[in-house]
Amino acid sequence: MANSYIQLHFVALFFLASLTIPSNCLPGLYPKAPVALFVFGDSLFDRGNNDFIKTTTTFQANFPPYGETFFKLPTGSFTDGRIIPDFIAEFAKLSLIPPYLQTAYHEFLTNGVNFASGGAGALAETNTGLVIDLKMQFKNFRKAKKHLRLNIGKRAAKRVVKNAVYLFGIGSNDYLSPLTNNSSIFKLYAPQDYVAMVVGNITSVVQKIHREGGRKFGILNLGPLGCLPRLRAANVAAGGNGECVEQVTALAKLHNVLLSQKLQLLQKRLKDFKYSYFDVFAASIATVQNPSKFGFKEVKSACCGSGPFRGYFSCGGKRGMKEYELCDNPKDYLFFDANHPTEAANLQSAEAMWGGPPNITGPYNLQSLFLL
């Protein structure tokens, strides 16, 4: 019943939001014709796919107060309002990109679709059985491509796939999940070898999409994972003062270096391959070091949750802990819950991705990719 309730309300929201989202004030031109946006990733990008799979509330956000800022009800996204792909779609003058598993929307595939799944990893072993991992997301893309061909014809579908932008935001769970589940994986692999597996799976899917006809890719690196409210709370539980957990952040740094290197190699090897690499890590550090410059008052504690730094993943009271605190104004916060940014933070990331300079978003920004 809950999922049906969410789905019915999201149907209305999908059409209303496409009409009522205010125009963004970013300068620059827009594509003359819509360029599709296909989204792959984890909970930073999930538009509600996890509402349609057999999983647990740990990997769902289909209950209040999620969605309260913009939609006024939960839509399955792990934030108080819109996520990064929502803003990118707005900037590109597309309607909201729907979740793939909300099958009623398959006629909108010419504008793109969102395959992301909260809790997903690049590795199939990450939260296996509870999420849609990256390889399965690619399989869903191939199904969507087949559906496009049936609907609009082979030639038109090929044009959609070639002109589309493919947005990736995944990898965090591959490093966070083993810690949560007390896995011995980090004892079995040297850090460099484990990171190589994660990055290798990401770039493998990128190459597969290129073989399917895709040419333009937007890729996010990882932020300082050890500084999430969840990890600060874990540091307190271990007897610390809420410092960032450097062991986890070190893995993110290794990941970012290797991912950047691999993308540069793909640019040299793959025909017409173009990409935008958004440095989430650098942007996050800048925000934490100077919050007021970016309009934030609190960058360590979450808006919604419990425990130290509101770092317990209890927002909404549906994940084992019923009691939680909720801030008055999410716009003041960098984090909405223990793991995820607020809509305000998502907007700033999307703006940087869309029109940022090469040192933050390069060698292309997303605006450039949509115009190519």
CB of 66 closer than 8 Å to CB of 78: yes
CA nearest 222: which of 302, 138, 179, 278?
278
What are residue 290's phi and psi, to 5 degrees?
-145, 70
Active site residue 349: no
The tokens for 285 are: 């550090």
Task: Please identify which of the residues 172, 174, 337, 349 carries the catalytic annotation.
Answer: 337
Spatial distance between the Cα atoms of 85 and 207, rounded to a whole number of angstroms = 21
- Which three-class secondary structure string do you get for 158-213? HHHHHHCEEEEECCHHHHHHHHHCCCCHHHHCCHHHHHHHHHHHHHHHHHHHHHHC
| Residue type at 48 in one-letter notation | G
Going by their DSSP bridges, the two strands 274-278 and 361-363 should be labelled as antiparallel
Rg (CA), the chain: 19
Task: Please identify which of the residues 95, 117, 340, 349 carries the catalytic annotation.
Answer: 340
Task: Please identify which of the residues 42, 43, 86, 255 carries the catalytic annotation.
Answer: 43
Which residues are paired to 113 by β-bridges?
38
Residues 6+ apart with CB under 8 A from 176: 225, 230, 248, 339
Active site residue 95: no
Which residues are paired to 99 by β-bridges?
114
Spatial distance between the Cα atoms of 43 and 340, rounded to a whole number of angstroms = 8
CA nearest 35: which of 360, 274, 335?
274
CB of 58 closer than 8 Å to CB of 120: no
Active site residue 272: no
- Which three-class secondary structure string do you get for 39-88? EEECCCCCCCHHHHCCCCHHHCCCCCCCCCCCCCCCCCCCCCCCCHHHHH
CB of 40 closer than 8 Å to CB of 137: yes
Q: Annotated catalytic sites, by residue?
A: 43, 337, 340
